[in-house]
Amino acid sequence: MNEMDYPRLREILHRTTLPGGLRVRTVYKPDFAKFYAILLVNCGSVDRRYDRDGQLVQMPQGVAHYLEHKLFDMPEGSADALFAAIGASGNAYTSHDFTGYYVQSSEQQAEALRVLLRMAFTPYFTEETVQKERGIITQEIKMAADDPYDCLGEIHMQSLFPGHPLSEPILGTEESIAGITPDCLRRWYSDFYRPENMVLCVEGDLPPAEVAAIASELLPPAQEGRVESLFDRTPAAPPRTGAQYLRREVSMPTFRLSFPLPDRPPEDQRFEFAAELALELLAGDSADCFRQLYESGLVDSGFTWSIERYRRKAFLSFGGDSRDPEAVCAALCAAARTMLSGGVRSDDLARLKRSMLGRLLRDLDSFSVCCTRLAECTLCGQDYFRFPEILDAITEAELAPLLRAIVPEQAVLTILAPKEEAL
């Protein structure tokens, strides 16, 4: 067990790797009743085509999410009931690149962790239970289909990454999930749910040694063979740039606007922080560009910007409601150009670094945010808790290449607009 002290965060992190390769990270908080644990698996919807010992395997769309639902089945019943019996609540999610299982509780923490790990390490499904789940997931797919914002997100990804796994729906489709059998799920499980492909992060009143002991006791055996997702090897067609409209019953237009970044960005927090600082300088609350857009009623307080990254694909993204999204796009591109020609002021950068440091420190109050971020960083080989030092080191020179991506020719703009209204 390795103990790392982070004085600027006032946090201590315990790290260990169990036989078979499961990495365990514990933030011990004896003065808290709340408790959070997440088991993060390094696979998601984008990994459904993969190479297993030289053989191409192709799973139906939605397999990662389907398995996530079915792992809650255990020989003695549903994991939900086992969680409920100890006052814990467990849940899970599937994203493009991760599958996460988590539990929160404020009593019987050791037992809550045991149930979480037993659930995740016990693939148990029958023909009948897999069949029954289809109805539930079909309702989930229909719910998403009725949500215009979900549709906007999906179409946006299709424009950014045409024909690429990132453009596929995480839930799959009604047709694709019809092809998911207990065999598919078993195979997906044994190929991806390998100890070396997972990370366990725990925060709360459970000593690190106990966390490691519980995980060791329940750990599944190491798997034979080699599995490699074809995600990073699948080429994407060039993005569909320009504006694309989607007409739905909505009260006002909503947009997603993205600018692709070159492939294979460095897989570290420094790159993400630099991108966030560049975006905040460009369009944050104190930026001239944002103020002008806001005061002219072109965006409201729901305007967002972010750096999105799925392993080696990354893009800068903006979104929100606007009566004229194309004008917002033009204003952002013009502001990026101005900023590149005028240079970034060092006092502006210093102020925004300080702001970001404060927000990142405050995020640590949420055990779920802290553990999830810790797990993601660990899977990418990063040390999450080093964020103050990483932020300190970022220079003005790192922001320019990011700002250069914000040009009209590269804009992928998807607009969800009301049906009748002609814009």
Partner 1 sequence: MLQRSTLLPGIRLTAVKSDKFKTATLCLCLVRPLRADEAAMNALLPSVLLRGSLAYPTMRELSRFLETAYGASCGAIVRKRGEAQLTGLYAEFLDDALLPEPLLPDMISLLGGLLLDPMTAEGGFLPEYFAVERDNLRNAMEAEANDKRVYAFRRLCRRMFRGEPFATPAAGEKAELDAVTPQSLYAHYRRILTQSPIEIIYQGSSDPGPIAAAFRDLLSPFAGAERPLPPPPAAVVQREAQAFSETQPLEQSKLVVGFRMAIPQTPVELAAQQVLLAVYGAGPSSRLFLRMREEQSLCYSVSASFDRCKGTLFVYAGIDADQYEPALREIRTQLAACAAGRISDEELRFAKSQLRSQLRAIGDNPSRLEELYLGDAVGPIRATVAERTAAVEAVTAEDVAAAARTVREDTVFFLKGAAE
Chain residues that interact with partner 1, rule: CB under 8 A:
10, 31-34, 78, 80-81, 83-89, 104-107, 132-137, 139-140, 142-143, 145-149, 249-252, 284-286, 288, 291, 294-295, 297, 300-301, 321, 351-352, 354-359, 361-362, 364-365
Buried b (16+ CB within 10 A) or exposed e, 227-248: bebbbeeeebeebebebeebee
Nearest to 142 by CA among 165, 121, 169: 169
For partner 1, the closer CB: 39 or 79: 79
Report in angstroms how near the CB of residue 389 gets to partner 1 at its nearest: 16
Residue 74: CB minimum distance to partner 1, A: 13
Distance from C-alpha of 370 to C-alpha of 376, rounded to nearest angstrom: 10
What is the smallest separation between the CB atom of 203 and partner 1, expressed in angstroms?
Answer: 11
Task: Provide the Cα torsion 204, 205, 206, 207; round to 10°.
Answer: 110
Measured from the CB of residue 23, what is the shortest distance to partner 1 in angstroms? Answer: 25
Residue closer to partner 1 (CB basis): 135 or 238: 135
Residue 136 C-beta: closest distance to partner 1, Å: 5
User: How far, in Å, CA of 9 to CA of 7, rounded?
Assistant: 5
Edge-to-edge, what's the strand order for the sheet holding 49-52? 55-58, 49-52, 227-229
Q: Nearest approach, Cβ of 143 to partner 1 (angstroms)?
A: 5
| DSSP string for 353-383 | HHHHHHHHHHHTT-HHHHHHHHHHHHHTT--
Shortest approach of partner 1 to residue 73 CB, angstroms? 10
Q: Between residues 126 and 217, which has the closer beta carbon with respect to partner 1?
A: 126
Report the residue number, 59 or 141, with the smaller CB distance to partner 1.
Answer: 141
| Choice between 233 and 291, CB closer to partner 1 | 291
Whose Cβ is closer to partner 1: residue 31's or residue 224's? 31
Angular region, 54: left φ>0, alpha ψ -120 to 50, beta rest: left
58 vs 251, beta carbon nearer partner 1? 251
- The C-alpha atoms of residue 320 and residue 408 are separated, in whole angstroms, by 18
Q: Which is nearer to partner 1, 47 or 272 (CB)?
A: 272
Note the helical H segments in 107-202: 109-120, 127-146, 148-160, 174-178, 182-192
Least distance in Å: CB of 328 to partner 1?
Answer: 15
The partner residues of 94 in beta bridges, in order of sequence, read 99
- State phi, psi for 229 to the nearest 5 degrees: -65, 145
Other Cβ atoms within 10 Å of 315 Cβ, number: 22
